[in-house]
Chains A and B, each alone.
Chain A
Amino acid sequence: MADTLTHTAIARVVVPKGGFGHELRATLVVWNRELIRFRRDPARVISSVIQPLLFLFVLGGGLSALVASGTGGVDFKTFLFPGVMSMSVLFTAAFAGISMVWDREFGFLREMLVAPVSTAAILTGKCLGGASVATLQAVIVILLAGLVGVPYDPLMILELLVLLFIMSFMITALGLVLASRVKQVQSAMPLVQMIITPLMFLSGALFPLSRLPAWLTVVTHINPMTYAVEPVRAVVFDRLNMSTEARAILDPGIWWGSYQVPLLLQVALVIASSLLLLLLAVKLFNRTE
């Protein structure tokens, strides 16, 4: 071996006694790792952009003639736009959370969990990372807004980014909960499909929930995605010139009986679900090793 050793002494470094600053650094570095890995994986970026495009232009384009009579004059693609944005975020964020299964398989999870920081700090970093990556991807969908008749309103874009960030934080936390239970890499993706697909169909992302049978309405009301998707749609539709009848058909809002759930309460519900899922994930990961 040609590796020669130099015999200079190495200065000891100081490791502090924990505290909030240390936890924060741990959170930030886990967050940063997600961004680095995202940049290194162009295939992931491209594939996650293609899927929403297919939904928007192929499914949306194909169905628009068929459903034209029922949309009050609004292009079906325009209706679909907020839903497709939510959908792209949903899958990317779920994948970011479930990627913990790979971290376990390749041992890196142990490097994280054996450090002198709380599991909460690490998982929070993971959620922030998943949310950032998913929101970055949504930016690409937002860029297409003009093609489906949605104006590039700066305030709308800002509101969308905030809402999508919160939504993807919640879904990443859900992915982490799943990852804590799944030990096999090959069962991770099927599980994500199995959980995420119904969440998506029962969230109002692809069609208005008002048309669903009553028993399914109960399911949509306990689906946290419903409360994440509706504000996204409201923010977009607020910027469109749409008749009140069309708005009533396409965006009826969420009703608990005769009570219309206000947007801020919806956002609050999403934030609360995020925290609950994150807490659950922390509990589950604390127990695994």
Chain B
Amino acid sequence: MAEVTLNDVRKVYAGGVEAVKGVSLDIPDGGFCVLVGPSGCGKSTLLRMVAGLETISSGQVAIGGRVVNEIEPAERDIAMVFQNYALYPHMSVYDNIAYGLRNRGTPKDEIDRRVQEAARILAIEPFLQRKPRALSGGQRQRVAMGRAIVRKPQVFLFDEPLSNLDAKLRVQMRVEIKKLQRALGVTSIYVTHDQVEAMTLSDKLVVMSGGQVEQVGTPTEVYRRPETRFVATFIGSPPMNILPGLVDGDGRVSVGGLTLAADDLPAGLEPGRHVDVGVRPEEVEVAPAGAPGAPFAIDFVEELGATELLHGTLGGSPFVLQVNTGAVSPGTKAVTLAIPSRCVHVFDAETGKRLGRAESATARAA
């Protein structure tokens, strides 16, 4: 077991593309760190630098306190699960799993014991003699996992391991990966662009964009207090509504003539400053008839089963609201919304950075 430390890690590809622009991270021993971000933001590049599959342009990667920049992948004591599984097609499942042990000269009976154990944990014993092409996607995924756990490495690296599975299987394997990681206690870094996967798996969530880290925190912290507009819209589904607005005074913003209270807005900002106001669709409620609130005009409704999404306009901007099915009777054209002041996020219109109170930021860091 080991902690993984990244210190100002950069990657510039041969063509001059700067894929990773100085990332520093601490992943504690046994931690489950998920790197999430849109396509092309450098997640895979960062992971592959930890694996030793890409050279590190500058900065340091340390595993278990040992700087591994110049160390071969084989000597880093890591295992990696690839998006396409990278199973050796000409070898049986057994040989696929045993390959890494054989390369390290593990005795035969020890190999057999460990392969059988891994196969038992992953429930792939019936397929050990088959070739990978004779397996379903989910079974291949398990074999890839088997190949990783059989060596008992210090770190697991996953690069979008579930993205080739169908939605149902993905949910099932997600739970299994989490259980397995808990049971084995192996430090893990997991790359995905699926924010639900990111939220459910991680105990340390790293949101990346354009080669940089936007925010690091527990999934709840990131969800509750997004540090940038990008994180706010990236984490959460359906995404957070962003409305253009102005600072209206201490703790208040105005959006298209509506005034909203925002708890986290620091005092002393000049009124009239342009801001982006973020409100999550699921944190707003429909106010009882006659109660004060923000008028919301409904355009159309998307039914999701237990909940429904109301699309419409609020203060002149498009807005989405998520409510329990039946909370608004069909055919309703306008409702009044109660927007809790603790759920109003304010971002600088230009930089996209959160305009938040310093004390809550320090409280978070502590």
A binds B: no
Residues of A within 8 A of B (CB): none
